[in-house]
Amino acid sequence: MAIEVRRISDLKEVDVSKLIEESEKEGYRFVSRLASEYEDGTNRFSEQGEVLYGAWEAEELVAIGGLNRDILGSDSARLHRFYTLPDYRRKGIGSELFKVILVGAKGQFNEITTKTESTKADAFYRANGFIFDRRSPDTTHVIGL
Please check whether residue 132 is in contact with residue 141, taking contact to mean a CB–CB distance below 8 angstroms: yes
**Domains of the chain, each with CATH number or no CATH:** 3-144 (3.40.630.30)
Tens digit of each residue's pLDDT (9 = 90 or more) over 2-18: 999 999 999 999 999 99
Return the pLDDT at 55: 98
* DSSP at 103: H
pLDDT in tens, 86-119: 999 999 999 999 999 999 999 999 999 999 999 9
Q: Does residue 71 register a pLDDT over 90?
A: no
Please say whether the beta carbons of 60 and 6 come within 8 A: no
Alpha carbon 63 to chain centroid, angstroms: 9
Ramachandran angles phi, psi of 67, nearest 5°: -130, 125
The predicted model scores a pTM of 0.94
Question: Which amino acid type is present at position 73?
Answer: G
In 42-137, which ranges are E strands? Answer: 51-57, 60-69, 76-84, 111-114, 131-132
